[in-house]
Amino acid sequence: MSDQMKDLVRLAASGKINRRAFVGRMGALGLSASVAGSMFGMVAQAQAKKGGVLRAGVQGGQSTDSLDPALAASDVPFMINMTWGETLVELEPGGVLSMRVAEEVTSNADATEWKFKIRAGMTFHNGAPVTAEDVVATLKRHTDDKAQSGAQGLVKGIAEMTAEGDTVTLKLAAANADLPFLMADYHLIIQPGGGVDNPAAGIGCGAYIVKEFEPGVRCVMEKNPTYWDTSRGFADTVEVLSINDNTARTAAITAGQIHMMTRVDPKIAEMLAGAEGVVIERAAGPGHYVFIMQCTQAPFDNNDLRMALKLAIKRDEMVEKILGGMGSVGNDFPINAAYPLFDDAIPQRAFDAAKAAEHYKASGHDGSPIVLQVAPAAFPGAVDAANLFVASANEAGIPLTIKLEPDDGYWSNVWNVAPFCASYWGGRPVQDQMYSTAYLSTADWNDTKFVDAHFDELMLAARGELDPVKRKAQYSEMANILRDTGGLICPMFNDWVEGRRAEVGGWVANPAGTLMDGKALVKCWLEA
């Protein structure tokens, strides 16, 4: 949707334009009368349904959760931060960017310099105006090793950041045609002063203001009365409830105690869809469930052992039994057909007990148990998936075993710490962002501790390559390097399978992430 169309939506939402004028002006912008009429009806309906309390039941909360956007590593802090915070730009369904804190983005011819014009009139929850200086300070904080930011790999390539008037200028060390997409990353929420003094204050410029925060329990937020966008923020109050148990989340939505939930167990999706007042939403995208081996820790520092484990997993079985068919097989690199320039000619890896046994023997492993650490919080069906993995690995003579971990503390004590564990990734809008976040050798979230100088060189070259044929070839080479030498075992890409109450209006599935890419509480409303 263009900025002109969004301006018309805001006028309609504020009652400053009638239906006839709205449809006419939308028609002049290329929208059909029927679509424009439906859009006006939806906006008018939303305005009539303002108010109330909107609640989301989300898996992935723990007592160590923080409001610091840099540290968000699971669904609960992601959802909370996306509700009180705004990024420079936002990824919409269909893979297009909409303008948020920035109202205009431009670049030079070779994509080495980008300018972001900051929207006028925006204020933070503390009353301070949102400035270009705040944006620069935010981005700089994420480059600091001390911030432990999940976006560090994305911003490290910015050589110079300056603020002048209402414009932020980013000069890059190397060309990057995808830079605006990187700025939509959920860690890069704009904070006053960059959040340097108190990054966990929960002060942003989003539709809702944090009022209560109990880590691992709930977060209560109230509507921001000075929010600039009248087409969002309909409820008076929104709540994110940490409900890690699948059964408890299912019971809560069935009883109407929550209005939306993450991670519907695919095995019960059909049954839940039959419950009165419950609607199942599903979207296919780049999200994937994984087992990660740290390439720097024995015995996973041996590529024959890593390859043995990659060949010892039954991918089709996992998609069927764990995802209920609601997903697709993975190929040990984090990219699928949801991404531009995906190479579908890369051979699909499959279970091969004989080859797995050969690689295991070649590794010289001593036969002691290979421990896979897992918790239910890792992903829906993670424990069952781990048991399937153990069974197929044992068929190949590989002594794989499971260590069950508690949900609380899993994302701080096990993930990115343990040498072999279960995890998940929500994916990213472009290949460079996914690779930069988790596979660039210097990335803070390089959870497989994968280091390959040629891989890094290819990544930097692909960022500045404007020829799509050449860029696709570079990404294909990267995929093959990671697939054959990395520590990632990616058996499956998951659909987002989520539940909402029938009285929730405004829901538009976004394949980029769970619960409308974290914006469900901001964009939805309650019907009467």
DSSP string across 447-488: TT----HHHHHHHHHHHH---HHHHHHHHHHHHHHHHHHSSE
Q: Which of 90-99, 230-239, 405-414 has the lowest mean pLDDT?
A: 90-99
pLDDT at 45: 61
Does residue 48 have a pLDDT over 60?
no
Fold of 51-85+206-277+502-528: D-Maltodextrin-Binding Protein; domain 2 (3.40.190)
Question: Per residue in 424-452, is it b (16+ CB within 10 Å) or e — as a string?
Answer: bbbbbbbbbbbbbbbbbeebbbbbbbbeb
Q: Which of 112-121, 335-344, 364-373 has the lowest mean pLDDT?
A: 335-344
pLDDT-based confidence at 145, cuts 50/70/90? very high
Q: How far apart are CA 384 and CA 391, in angstroms?
A: 11
Q: How far apart are CA 204 and CA 50, in angstroms?
A: 22
Does residue 164 have a pLDDT over 90?
yes
Taking only the tens place, the pLDDT of each residue in 233-242 is 999 999 999 9
The alpha carbon torsion through 193, 194, 200, 204 (nearest 10 deg) reads 80
Mean pLDDT within 27-34 = 73
Q: Which of 9-23, 112-126, 298-312, 365-379 has the lowest mean pLDDT?
A: 9-23
pLDDT-based confidence at 38, cuts 50/70/90? low
Mean pLDDT within 134-150 = 96
pLDDT-based confidence at 489, cuts 50/70/90? very high
If you average pLDDT over every residue of the chain, what do you get? 93
Q: How far apart are CA 49 and CA 523, in angstroms?
A: 12
Taking every pair of Cα atoms in the chain, the longest distance, rounded to a whole number of angstroms, is 77
Strand partners, 371: 401
Phi, psi of 287 (to 5 degrees): -65, 145
CATH architecture of the region 86-195: Alpha-Beta Complex (3.90)
Q: Taking the domains of the chain in order of start, what are their residue ranges?
A: 3-48, 51-85+206-277+502-528, 86-195, 286-494
Instruction: Dig out the tokens for 157 from the structure.
Output: 């390539």
Give the side-chain half-sphere CA count within 13 A for 420: 21
Whose CA is closest to 367, among 357, 377, 381?
A: 357
Q: Which CATH superfamily is domain 286-494 in?
A: Dipeptide-binding Protein; Domain 3 (3.10.105.10)
Whose CA is closest to 439, among 284, 332, 312?
A: 332
Residues 6+ apart with CB under 8 A from 413: 405
Q: Taking CA 424 as the corner, what is the angle to CA 419 and CA 427, rounded to the nearest 5 degrees?
A: 125
Whose CA is closest to 115, among 183, 189, 69, 173?
A: 183
Q: Taking CA 167 as the corner, what is the angle to CA 141 and CA 106, rounded to the nearest 5 degrees?
A: 100
Amino acid code (one letter) for 37: G
- Full-model pTM: 0.78
Residues 6+ apart with CB under 8 A from 426: 78, 286, 287, 512, 513, 514
Instruction: Dig out the tokens for 438 from the structure.
Output: 């988790």
138 close to 188: Cβ distance less than 8 angstroms = yes
82 close to 100: Cβ distance less than 8 angstroms = no
